[in-house]
Amino acid sequence: MSFSSATNLAQPLQLNTTASTPRSNDKPSLLLPTKGSSFLGSTRKLRPASLSHSNAHRRSAVVAVSEAVKEKKVQASSNLLITKEEGLELYEDMVLGRSFEDMCAQMYYRGKMFGFVHLYNGQEAVSTGFIKLTKKEDSVVSTYRDHVHSLSKGVPAREVMSELFGKATGCCRGQGGSMHMFSKEYNVLGGFAFIGEGIPVATGAAFSSKYRREVMKQADCDHVTLAFFGDGTANNGQFFECLNMAALWKLPIIFVVENNLWAIGMSHLRATSDPEIWKKGPAFGMPGVHVDGMDVLKVREVAKEAIGRARRGEGPTLVECETYRFRGHSLADPDELRDPAEKAHYAARDPIAALKKYILENNLATEQDLKAIHKKIDEVVEDAVEFADESPLPPRSQLLENVFADPKGFGIGPDGSYRCEDPKFTQGTAHV
Amino acid sequence: MGLSRFGGLVKGLGVARRRPFATSTSSSSSTAAGGGTIVRGTGSKSLNLYSAINQALHIALETDPRSYVFGEDVSFGGVFRCTTGLADRFGNQRVFNTPLCEQGIVGFGIGLAAMGNRAVAEIQFADYIFPAFDQIVNEAAKFRYRSGNQFNCGGLTIRAPYGAVGHGGHYHSQSPEAFFCHAPGLKVVIPRSPLQAKGLLLSCIRDPNPVVFFEPKWLYRLSVEEVPEHDYMLPLSEAEVIREGTDITLVGWGAQLSIMEQACKEAEKDGISCELIDLRTLLPWDKDTVEASVRKTGRLLISHEAPVTAGFGAEISASIVERCFLRLEAPVARVCGLDTPFPLIFEPFYMPTKNKILDAIKSTVNF
């Protein structure tokens, strides 16, 4: 095996302008509680004060990054970040994500969908920004907030909606549900209900891609893996273990932290000793980047660089995207804990509105084009719902399938038919 | 009572099921020996399961200044509201949120307990307890043993909502009690109703051994009972006979008991008299009560939501067969979940339903 261990620290990315922000100097005062002992960090009263502080500082950091990007733009005035086609593609993907999630909410309240459903509204820029730069063979590993990741990766909206309805035509044949979207064709390695569980899986997938390239000499195998997870996960042991492995073996993986500040009801600032997650990258020997996750163009720029690095075999990157979820943690969450001012602040930075503004201001497309996209997406989502509605529920026999590799070892009875089609299925002790 | 208020919600389960629990508990627990300290005549309130647990935690923190409650989201009350009001009343040095690291939460709790504190760690769903499994089984269970009784983590209680909830899917519905029953040094306790939960939880917190306390999440709002407002404890390692009978003994715990109760009622219409036992503590479990009952009836049926193979029913079955082999009239029946991961859309087929139990009762009695 010709893997090189990371004997040299990877160079920071060009866009890592956060190194220039003064935030770290201000941080200690940010986190000390205003009253009570500092035994375990901030008290609840700290929240409004710290929030505006943190927002201010976050804003200043974001301005720092965006200035660098803006500079680039101004320098070559005719050199916009995206072409018309790209712009419309990004717009369409984000609108698909948003419309789909809104439709999910409607369907849930109508009882067509059940279980725990977690919506992605507000975070579309991260999914679109990263995944639209990937190839079909690249792998994506997500969390329970995985509908939009799957859609961006290319899984048809019909299949995702069917899966949510629990129908047999869903991408996992109805067995996974909202939190477990898998797709072999589009290399979506799941939907994980358990936070942090997907990161080691992504690390393994990245290893196999590197192995194929370097050991099995498939020179064209430059597939990268994207692992998406949240701010809460950045305090979990599995995350750190994988940062170490990925940097040690220089794996083609990008760790994308969707920092939306809240883990159900736990504020990131109150749960983390150093809330600046991107800093954890250099500690393990990989570059760490912080980017404004509400701006799809900035995310895309960072993603280009990070994916490029991974494809060239230069190793992993940790990208922290500052983003926000407009809805509660799940559809069962009343969302009472978040400060309305905070919500309003981020609602004003809606990624779809921002991209629309950019497209129109730079004359990349007309209002008509964008309206046409909205109409198209509405049709796609409606069609997905109809398809899901009309699809059949999985047969009962599916309950016992796929527990092991060999269905005979489990799901098929002595007479050759599935055990649960046996009329005596509910009798006795329901042994299988 | 609170029954009519919840009548609409519990159509499938039958509202009447709660009354037997309430009356039988209050009559039997007053006779509960050596530890049952329910004083009659003091005030009581109609509470649901999460409120009863909340009361128990309030009392626990009140009575011991070195007790702590921590876990994910406990500060605002928790995702099931079990910890409401605690942070406001006792301060955030004693009731605090932890980051999302179950292994860290439990290990941290073991450390607190080892230094003589009472640590009540909350794991948000029992399905998430597995990263902490190592700490629980390798550290908590063995601490006293391997330090030669110099240290112990008896002050540790781990609370986790477990069990099916109708729409939980793979990772919000599991019943992992069997895994923990296999670790000597731990205690595993599962309540069936609010009154039981409050008393058992207080016993667990004050028990000088590490305890894993599983709360049936289905019953958090559904199960309502008159719960005494004062401090009381129910004894651990004592099973309770909640329905007397002569033909067959049924053993279960947690939310499954209400399903079994319905099956018992239907079986009664066919003239089968069923005895229903709530195990309450799974480890160490009350073998004597179950044995006495099987000696009376000669038949045993065990039911739990966890998969049948190597579920806790297997342990009960093996022990009873050892003790009562010649008395048994039929093989011990186990009506449990299927040997598959907990399914999402197939949950109704997976679960040990009333019909499956009824079928098993009949075939055991007619063996």
Quick one: what percent of chain B has pLDDT higher than 90?
A: 83
- What is the pLDDT, as a whole number, of residue B4? 38
Confidence band for A71, pLDDT divided at 50, 70 and 90:
very low
Task: Give the closest of A194, A238, A263 to B171, CB-based.
Answer: A194
Q: Using CA atoms, how far apart are residues A197 and A202, in angstroms rounded to an integer?
A: 9
Segment 118-157 of chain A within 8 Å of chain B by CB: none
Q: Under 8 Å CB-to-CB from A413, ≥6 apart: which residues?
A: A419, A422
Confidence band for A79, pLDDT divided at 50, 70 and 90:
low
Inter-chain touch B308–A176, beta carbons under 8 Å: no
CA A42 to chain centre: 29
Q: Using CA atoms, how far apart are residues A10 and A327, in angstroms rounded to an integer?
A: 37
- What is the pLDDT, as a whole number, of residue A332? 85
Q: For chain A, what is the mean pLDDT?
A: 81
SS3 content of chain B, % helix, strand, coil (to 5): 40, 20, 40
Reply yes or no: is the peptide bond before residue B284 cis, omega within 30 of 0: yes
A393 in B contact zone (CB under 8 Å) = yes
**Which one of B58, B122, B139, B172 is the catalytic residue?**
B172
Most confident segment among A16-25, A403-412, B345-354? B345-354
Residue A386, helix vs strand vs coil:
helix
Instruction: Report how far apart, in Å, the C-alpha atoms of B321 and of each of A139, A182, B238, B363 are.
Output: 53, 45, 20, 18
Residues B245-262 have pLDDT tens digits of 999 999 999 999 999 999
A45 in B contact zone (CB under 8 Å) = no
The tokens for A176 are: 């996974």
Q: Under 8 Å CB-to-CB from B8, ≥6 apart: which residues?
A: none
Q: Using CA atoms, how far apart are residues B303 and B308, in angstroms rounded to an integer?
A: 9
State the CATH class of domain A80-392.
alpha beta
What kind of fold does domain B240-366 have according to CATH? Answer: Rossmann fold (3.40.50)
A170 in B contact zone (CB under 8 Å) = no
- Please determine, for residue A69, whether its predicted confidence score (pLDDT) is greater than 60: no
Q: Mutate one of B346, B350, B362, B367 to test the A interface: name it (highest A CB count within 10 A).
A: B346
Residues A236-253 have pLDDT tens digits of 999 999 999 999 999 999
A188 in B contact zone (CB under 8 Å) = no
Residues A312-327 have pLDDT tens digits of 999 999 999 999 999 9
- Please determine, for residue A40, whether its predicted confidence score (pLDDT) is greater than 80: no
Residues B37-60 have pLDDT tens digits of 455 556 899 999 999 999 999 999
Q: Under 8 Å CB-to-CB from A64, ≥6 apart: which residues?
A: A17, A18, A20, A21
**What's the CATH architecture for B44-228?**
3-Layer(aba) Sandwich (3.40)
CB-count burial class (<10 Å; 0-12, 13-18, 19+) for A336: exposed
In chain A, where the domains are located: 80-392
- What is the pLDDT, as a whole number, of residue A17? 39
Residues A93-120 have pLDDT tens digits of 999 999 999 999 999 999 888 888 999 9
Handedness of CA A55, A61, A67, A70 (dihedral sign): negative
- What is the pLDDT, as a whole number, of residue A227? 97
Confidence band for A420, pLDDT divided at 50, 70 and 90:
low
* Chain B residues with beta carbon closer than 8 angstroms to that of A232: 99-100
Task: Give the closest of A44, A430, A432 to B356, CB-based.
Answer: A430
Inter-chain touch A179–B171, beta carbons under 8 Å: yes
Q: Using CA atoms, how far apart are residues B72 and B62, in angstroms rounded to an integer?
A: 22
Confidence band for A424, pLDDT divided at 50, 70 and 90:
low
Helix (H) or strand (E) holding B242: strand B240-243
Q: Using CA atoms, how far apart are residues A373 and A355, in angstroms rounded to an integer?
A: 13
- Please determine, for residue A258, whether its predicted confidence score (pLDDT) is greater than 60: yes
Quote the strand ranges of B308-364, DSSP E.
Answer: 333-337
In chain B, where the domains are located: 44-228, 240-366
Residues B9-36 have pLDDT tens digits of 333 333 333 333 333 333 333 333 334 4
Residues B105-127 have pLDDT tens digits of 999 999 999 999 999 999 999 99
Confidence band for B321, pLDDT divided at 50, 70 and 90:
very high
- Please determine, for residue B268, whether its predicted confidence score (pLDDT) is greater than 90: yes
Size of interface A-B (CB pairs under 8 A): 129
- What is the pLDDT, as a whole number, of residue A285? 95
- What is the pLDDT, as a whole number, of residue A407? 59
- What is the pLDDT, as a whole number, of residue B145? 94
Rg from Cα positions in chain B: 20
Most confident segment among B15-19, B72-76, B311-315? B311-315
Instruction: Report how far apart, in Å, the C-alpha atoms of A201 and of each of A234, B182, B189 are.
Output: 16, 29, 34
A248 in B contact zone (CB under 8 Å) = no
**Which one of B102, B215, B240, B275 is the catalytic residue?**
B102
Residues A194-210 have pLDDT tens digits of 999 999 999 999 999 99
